[in-house]
Structure 1
Amino acid sequence: MVRIGFFVVLIFLVTNVMGQINLSWKVQHPVSKAWFPFGEKGSVQEALIAANQLPDPFVGMNENKFAWIENYQWTLESEFILTESEINQFVELDFPSVDTYASVFLNGKFVGETNNAFVRYRFDVKDKIVLGKNKLKVVFTPPIMYQKPRMAKVGVTLPAPNDVGTTKVAPHCRKPQYQFGWDWSLRILTMGFWESAKVDVFSDNKVLANYSNTLELTNEQAISEFTLVLAKESEGSFTWKSKLFGEQALKSVNKQLKRTETLLNPKLWWPRGQGEAHLYEDHWVLQNENGDVIFEKDVRFGVKKVELVQEKDQWGISFQLKVNNRPIFCKGADYIPDDIFPARITDEKLKNSVKTMLDCNFNMVRIWGGGFYPRESFLEACDEGGLMVWEDFMFACAMYPGTDEFLANVRTELEQQIPRLASHASLTLFNGNNEVDVAWKNWGFQKDYNLSKKDEVLINSYYQKLFKELIPQTIRAFTKIPYEHTSPLSNWGNDAFYNDGTQHYWGVWHGTDPIEDFGRKSGRFNAEYGFQSFPELATLSSFSKPADWKLDSPLMKMRQKSYVGNNMIAKHSNLLYGKTADFQRFVYFSQLTQAKAVGIAVVAHRTTFPRCAGTLYWQFNDCWPAPTWSSVDYYGRWKALQYEVKNDFKDVTIAARIDTLGKEKYVLISDIPTGFLCEIEARIYDFQGKVLDTLMCKQAIAYPHSVELFPQELKAYKKSDFAIQFNWKDETGKSCERLFIHEQFPGKPTSGVEPRVVIESLDILTGKGVLRIENETILQDFWFASKEGKVLMEQNFVHFLPGKYRIEFEFEGNVTKENCYWFYH
């Protein structure tokens, strides 16, 4: 089966009003009845922290002090003033995000209710406003209090293994699922506004949003439909002026203006590494029939064709994405919310995350389905950089209702989110849910929740209605971007399971597989796999004290949210690098172990194309500081894994292919769309730096392709320890190098003279420093960091041949010569 999507543009939320008022709030404590500031956005929890009513939940065991908030309704109040001219115009309350169950009152009159954190609510309050001061009240009801009396309507107990509350309401709530507790997150059910609520005052009409959809695409032309969404229905005519397409007179239908345009010989949007991520630039002006400008905006859009190929082949059933008719090997990670408090996530942080992904050679990011839909700033950065977006709908690891009421609520969410998301050039794939189908078929829900056959039939029907009917039907009404109902399509375990569709491989972490099985067990598209590690000392110090730094301390046991526990990290790091009683060194070993595990998988996946068409590791980021699967911790500090994938994801790289530890194969990998001739030199050293051999070859490499290097020549060295340094030139002629350590017994300490490590300079004005290293024997996985600040390096956790090195680095925060540290082995 081949699914095809044609595509364009960025959506822009726009404002063209005579007046817009950002509302600031106060909140009342439900017990003490005291009022205290809330601000323009945030949550009840954040307001309590700011008012010193509660401590930082990220520190120590403070998360336990937040549970009581779920048991009370919370009242927020705000005021705004309207002039005589304003009250004679259109007046609406605009709530971009209400989290989640709220009743809204204006001047003592009921306005409306909200019940979906993923929906933008607008309320016409023309009949409730008064001249001068207006009083607005919003009453928030916590999820359990709201849903408990309503759950019986569903007719069955819905499995919700990641809801750690006594009453499991997560599946009933259109709210981020990770906030109910996850195996990498604390439980905090926020109530409030992720974005500022506003009062909009406008005289005629306004444009709320614009989006577009490519109807047809050939080499000769692209036919696209552009849409403007109006605040009010209008019988009058409008003039839509476009710098690219000219002027057109239109009338609105269902509050929408649509125009269809043709681009001749279109320039296509390509993923990073495949070509230019081209975006067209246009300028739009909308005038009413009186000639008044009610909307003006610079817009950008991209044009591409995307196909999802799912066909039976010699291995099983494929899962291959094609962009502009070219098969793309997808490289990246799964992205979770950046904070337990969504309102704290800044546009700058989102853009920096995308920059890190692109700097580390990602071409895809998967937005995981237990969080929330991405913001415009994130998607715009993906558009600009050529980062493909796999977008889950917000359903994860539970069974969901399929009642008419629930589906109607979800339909509103979909009708807002799908056209917004699909209008971005980067949006490449829609996915119905995370692990709902595989959980239902393999996790024992039927027994654990005492479900009858009748219950099973009902839950199956709910799944069918939501993920196989409502969502795909709504997608098709807006776009041709491909959709699959779930990920993964196949469970891990049985060897045959790896031959069909998407795979979430958890045989090492959740099973008993050896770490080498990351290199042996590859799905057709690996959408999840990973291994945990601890964050570095500066991050540990943000929530714990040195007295807590042991695996069996109450704090570390509580901080570890995975049921597998910290012992799984210790098990594999002990096997790879040996036991240590030094917790700081254990942290270092944990990060090396994580990098080794995921690195083994990445290289295995890339070298088995076309059987394997994608590798997305779990997970890129964190929502709080803790031991997790992330490659970048909560404070943005790179773990060893982030440096590893930066090298392993390069479009042209040489990597170690590992099926068995100590028996590496070295492979040249290329994702460059055109073939080229690669000249390679390999020098083999002993651990004292003596050159044992020099190997040379010229290798023609096509797209996408991998080839083993020097298989016969290296046989003579496989029974001894050695270092091998590869030097080559990529397709641009740029010189590249990479050093590998080959050990018969990986993890044993390297004997030799202690290296001399000196911080030569630290300039606090520029945030730059220089590190000097002198070593007489091989240095393995040299890691440089700070106990307080953040160190940023081009490469870290790196091997060094014997020699003298001068390394430049950047830093943020309190970095001094005294608080810097380093590890090696």
Structure 2
Amino acid sequence: MSVLRPLHDGWTVASADSSVGPVPAAVPGCVHTDLLAAGRIPDPHLDDNETALRWIGHTDWVYETAFHWNGTEESRVDLACAGLDTVATVTLNGTALGTTANMHRSYRFDARPHLRPGENRLRVHFGSAYRYAEEVQARLGERPNAYPEPFNFIRKMACNFGWDWGPNVVTAGIWQPIGLHSWGTARLAGVRPLVTVEDGVGRVAVHVEVERDSDEPLALSAAVAGVRAETTIAPGERTAVVTVEVRDPELWWPRGYGEQARHPLDVTLRSAAGDAVDTWQRRIGFRSVRLDTAPDAHGTPFTLVVNGVPVFARGVNWIPDDTFVTRVTRERYAERLAQACDANVNLLRVWGGGRYESEDFYDLADELGLLAVQDFLFACAAYPEEEPIAAEVAAEAREQVTRLASHPSLVAWFGNNENIWGFHDWGWPERLAGRSWGEGYYLRVLPAIVAELDPTRPYWPSSPYSGRPDLHPNEPAHGSMHIWDVWNQKDYTHYRDYRPRFVAEFGYQAPPAYATLRRSISDEPLSHDSPGMLHHQKAIDGDAKLQRGLDAHLPPPRDFADWHYLTQVNQARAVALGIEHFRSLRPLCMGTVVWQLNDCWPVTSWAAIDGDGRRKPLWYALRRAYADRLLTIQPRDGDLVLVAVNDSADPWRGPASVTRLAISGEPRAKTAVDLDVPPRSAVTLPLPGELTGGEDPRRELPPAELPPAELPPAELPPAELPPAELPPAELPPAELPPAELPPAELLLAESDGRRAWWFFAEDKDVAYPAPEYEATAEPVPDGWRVTVHAGTILRDLSLFPDRLDPAASVDESLVTLLPGESATFLVTSATTLDGPALTRHPVLRCVNDVPAR
């Protein structure tokens, strides 16, 4: 029976020229984290330390360890390297076993002839990834990319070289497990369970590759869901297929569509004598998946269909969760994916500038019912199709398609991120001058590999892509698209200009949580343009684009606290507006994938969860906009409509109301409708003119005769807690707006506890009253209950307890209250907080505590 002995202990790392180290090394790990743990470098994530540490990526590094070997009866002993980052020479007892040049592959070397009884020395020399990439670049010729770095000339995680949200930290190290694998007779070199479901029968075709040390016949068996099948592998044969059929299996469904049934699959390889020589186990799910791209009257749809049911993708893009990916433990994956689920997400797109995600990631996605789309690892650049890159691309693709085949959560492969679009729109043809750029990978090599190794899953050549070479790759009516002109050039209301079939990327920036900023940036005072803040803003003209968004919608910030809060509000509003518009188009549009869920370090970015794992206001907006049932008010053909979106399995029936109100909360007009929304659909209802206002939606209308019960009664705070005494300076008095500002009004739609708002004027133009409220903070187990009773409208009321305790969090954010209404926030904190501080500025905020000017 084969045995794997890990070799993870006793490692050191030093620069090849001996100028640095040796220091203790963690395996798996990388040189940056080793030097950081040894106190030899400052934290690359803090301030501008990243800049001073770029020499690490230009340096050769040597990892060494010693281990004892007492021999084995097995005829073969391999040094199994699951992942080396990246340009490595592996030496055992002074003999070179082999070289590597691909972070995204595993390697095996025959170690037995070079092992000796007693102490053995293992050495891995990592050459500079920069030097290797620049040498390939010089040999093959320049290729355009989005950043002035040679990441497209080496098979390594591209974002190591820096991105518009990530630092430049070019790593080296043994980043996956390494060990000695002893085996005899034969071993399972590859196992691909291809699962199909048809006519109530689940089939698992288990494809195996074997490596032999003898030519004897072998027996291969597979067992799943109480059914077992076996086949014989003839002498000398190295591949086989054994198929297991299960009648009426429990199906695996995406979250929100059913249960995530998984079944253990056990594969055993036996010798001619009947002895088990190798085994393989995974949990699989019975499900079918296809991509509906059949042309229709509107163009080309892009709809994921699971078990015959079209699924609206409520998605987020996923990047590596840490610059140093070996720090991302299973527990951290579990936390992050749970945050995605809690935000009502059902799909993660694993972006092509990072990594093929880990077994932990996909196992958790399987467990949680999260759909996953995996990009092949090409992003924002032209990639050479010559050697040595071409062979590495094919080898890594074959390995990764095989590795991930068992996971029901993986529902599609995308060929790359933005490269076909880049060739069409980013001036590449002139710069390439006829040189290869990757088209052959995306349209021939990769689809052929997927078709050969895993025809159970769809392949799509690029994100974005319109389905045919004669169509522009980012055409809204066809296939998938990315929307980036909004962030880069336009106001976010221009999301409504698009009628896409599937949006695989769109997003809007904001800074991370305040506690994250204070941990990572030491600027005093902290301001949006202080040195550390600017260093942690990687987007081109990022601050100017944030300011453009503020100028269009919100009153000017008076200080950093205002700027921080308002930019986070604007991010949440922008993305929510896009999601609500796209969801309201269902079934024309069948997916939105927000850029992005997570960050890899503390940075101003498009993420909903920042680099320290804290939820930004955007996360709460995602939870609301991605809810199974959504009410939204949308502009259509010069008027306003109410759209009810029902993504649940049950009909949505019941009364709804839409009220027009003054900012003071006084009702002006009202209508009632009955909702009848079938499952997995959306219904659009026109609104009467007295609500939408005809030609001048901000004109005054006579008050409607409404009974008092039409507005919810005020909830009084607990009698034993007196209202917080707020000194006048805590909430600056609102300045009177210019006299020409018209009186603003709003619409409020309500049904079954759900609300949708429509404000006829931008906040910067609204004569909001100075906020008045009573706020109380009451200690409860594990934290505090903060109750806010509104005396005036409170727009996007939010609580930021991390300003008091970096570990504190809150259950809700961005709540708009009318006069007389109340909201309760539950703050989780393991420390004793200052209760009154939870009820005042800058912890408790609303938009109208910043005066319009």
Tell me the TM-score normalised to structure 1 length.
Answer: 0.89
Which residue of the partner structure matches residue 817 of structure 2? 800
Secondary structure of the 2:301 match is coil
Q: For 1:447-526, what aligned pairs fall within 5 Å after superposition?
A: 447=430, 449=431, 451=432, 455-456=433-434, 458-459=435-436, 463-480=438-455, 481-489=457-465, 497-511=475-489, 513-526=490-503
Q: Deviations over 1:675-701 (max 9, x none)?
A: 443433456655455566664332221
Partner of 1:6: none
Amino acid at match of 1:769: W
717-726 vs 323-332, greater mean Cα deviation = 717-726
Q: 1:781 aligns with which of 786, 796, 799?
A: 796
2:255 match: 272
Distance 1:426 1:353 in 2: 16
Further displaced range: 520-529 or 216-225? 216-225
For structure 2, the 5+ residue unaligned runs are: 701-743, 848-853
Change (3 A) 1:815 1:186: farther
Task: For residue 43 of structure 1, report the CA deviation from its aligned partner.
Answer: 1.1
- Would the aligned equivalents of 1:622 and 1:632 in 2 still touch at CA under 8 Å? yes
Distance 1:664 1:795, change over 3 A: farther
The answer to whether residue 333 in structure 2 is matched with residue 350 in structure 1 is yes
Identify if the C-alpha distance between structure 1 residues 595 and 132 changes in structure 2 by more than 3 Å, giving closer, same or farther: same
% identical aligned pairs = 26
Residue range with higher mean Cα deviation, 651-660 or 143-152:
651-660
Residue 160 in structure 1 maps to residue 151 in structure 2: no
CA distance in 2, matches of 1:496, 1:316: 13
Which of 229, 234, 238 does residue 219 from structure 2 map onto? 238
Q: Distance in 2 between matches of 1:522 and 1:534?
A: 29
User: Which residue matches 1:182?
Assistant: 163
Cα offset for 1:392?
0.6
Q: Is the Cα–Cα contact under 8 Å of residues 516 and 659 in structure 1 kept in the other structure?
A: no
- Cα deviation 1:545-585 (Å, max 9, x = unaligned): 35252233233222211112211101111221111131121
SS for the counterpart of 2:542 is: coil
- Go from structure 1 to structure 2 and tell me whether the alpha carbon gap of 1:343 and 1:496 turns closer, same or farther (over 3 Å shift): closer
SS in 2 for 1:159: coil
1:267 alignment partner, SS class: coil
Q: How does 1:762-773 map to 2 (within 5 A)?
A: 763=781, 767-773=782-788
**Inter-CA distance 33–514: structure 2 relative to 1 (3 Å threshold):** closer
Q: Residue 91 in 1 paired to residue 77 in 2?
A: yes
Partner of 2:120: 134
How far did residue 725 of structure 1 move? 5.2
Q: Higher mean Cα deviation, 373-382 or 22-31?
A: 22-31
- Which residue does 1:620 correspond to in 2? 597
User: Quick check: 1:824 aligned with 2:846?
Assistant: yes
In terms of mean alpha carbon deviation, does 415-424 or 815-824 score higher?
Answer: 815-824
Amino acid at match of 1:118: H
Residue 809 (1) aligns with residue 827 (2): yes
1:664 positional shift: 6.0
Counterpart check, 1:585 vs 2:562: yes
Aligned pairs (5 A) from 1:569-608: 569-608=546-585
Provide the residue aligned with 2:723 in structure 1. Answer: none
Establish whether residue 103 from structure 1 lines up as the match of residue 89 from structure 2: yes
Given the superposition, is the C-alpha separation of residues 574 and 18 from structure 1 closer, same or farther in structure 2, using an over 3 Å criterion?
closer
Q: What's the CA shift for 1:124?
A: 1.8
One of 751, 765, 776 as aligned partner of 2:769: 751
Q: CA distance change for structure 1 residues 279 and 692 in 2, over 3 Å: closer, same or farther? A: farther
Question: What are the within-5 Å matches in structure 2 for residues 2-151 of structure 1?
Answer: 17=3, 19-29=5-15, 30-32=17-19, 34-84=21-71, 86=72, 89-151=75-137
- 1:197 matches 2:178: yes
1:247 shift after superposition: 5.0
Structure 1 pair 82/716, CA: closer, same or farther in 2 (3 Å)? closer
Mapped contact 1:604–1:658 kept (Cα < 8 A): no
Which deviates the most, 27-36 or 54-63? 27-36
Which of 246, 251, 274 does residue 233 from structure 2 map onto? Answer: 251
Say whether the 8 Å CA contact 2:771–2:793 is kept in structure 1: no
- The whole-number CA distance in structure 2 between the counterparts of 1:496 and 1:466 is 19
Moved more, 565-574 or 235-244: 235-244
2:221 matched to 1:221? no
**Displacement after TM superposition at 1:55 (Å):** 0.4
Cα 1:105–1:560 change in 2 (3 A) is same
Separation in structure 2 between the aligned mates of residue 241 and residue 429 of structure 1, nearest angstrom: 25
Report how far residue 279 of structure 1 moved. Answer: 2.2
User: In 1, are the aligned partners of 2:289 and 2:306 still within 8 Å (CA)?
Assistant: yes
Residues 762 and 816 of structure 1 are in contact (CA less than 8 Å); yes or no, is this contact kept in structure 2? no
Letter in 2 for 1:784: L
Q: Partners in 2 of 1:392 and 1:43 — Cα distance? A: 24
- The alpha-carbon distance between structure 1 residues 316 and 496, as it changes in their structure 2 partners (threshold 3 A), is farther
Structure 1's 773 and 412: CA in aligned 2 closer, same or farther, altered over 3 A?
same
Q: Which amino acid aligns with 2:158?
A: Q
Q: What's the CA shift for 1:65?
A: 1.3
Return the TM-score normalized by structure 2: 0.86
Contact 1:193/1:343, CA 8 A, preserved across alignment: no
Deviation digits for residues 519-568 of structure 1 (CA, Å, limit 9, x no counterpart): 22232211111111111210110122352522332332222111122111
| C-alpha distance in structure 2 between counterparts of 1:823 and 1:508, whole Å | 27
Q: 1:134-177 deviations in whole A, cap 9, x for unaligned?
A: 000110001122233333442x3111222x3xxx4211111011
Following superposition, the deviation at residue 238 of structure 1 comes to 2.8
Which has the higher mean CA deviation after the structures are superposed, 173-182 or 548-557? 548-557
Match of 1:397 in 2: 380
Please tell me whether the aligned partners of residues 75 and 139 of structure 1 are also in contact (alpha carbons under 8 angstroms).
Answer: yes
Q: Determine the structure 2 residue equivalent to 1:422.
A: 405
SS state at 1:570 partner = helix
Question: 1:350: Cα distance to partner?
Answer: 1.3
Within 1, Cα distance between the matches of 2:480 and 2:686? 33
> CA RMSD of the aligned region, Å?
2.9
**Kept in 1: contact 2:86–2:173 (CA 8 A):** yes
Alignment equivalent of 2:367, drawn from 374, 377, 384: 384
> Counterpart in 2 of 1:10?
none
Question: Kindly tell me: are residues 31 and 18 of structure 1, through their superposed partners in 2, closer, same or farther at Cα, counting changes over 3 Å?
Answer: closer
Structure 1: state its 5+ residue gaps.
Answer: 1-14, 730-735
Correspondent of 1:547 among 501, 524, 528: 524
Q: Distance in 2 between matches of 1:496 and 1:402?
A: 24
- Of 306, 310, 322, 1:323 maps to 306
CA contact (8 A) 1:648 1:655 kept: no
Letter in 2 for 1:528: E
Q: CA deviation at 1:194?
A: 2.1
CA distance 1:120–1:819, shift in 2 (3 Å): farther
Given that residues 233 and 255 in structure 1 are in contact (C-alpha distance below 8 angstroms), is that contact kept between their aligned partners in structure 2?
no
Residue 19 of structure 1 and its aligned partner are, at CA, apart by 4.2
Task: Tell whether the 8 Å contact from 2:645 to 2:683 is kept in structure 1 after alignment.
Answer: yes
For 2:199, the aligned partner's letter is N
User: What is the Cα deviation at residue 225 of structure 1?
Assistant: 0.4
AA partner of residue 403 (structure 2): R
Code of the residue aligned with 1:781 in structure 2: it is D
What CA distance in whole angstroms lies between the structure 1 residues aligned with 2:442 and 2:20?
44
Q: Distance in 2 between matches of 1:43 and 1:274?
A: 41
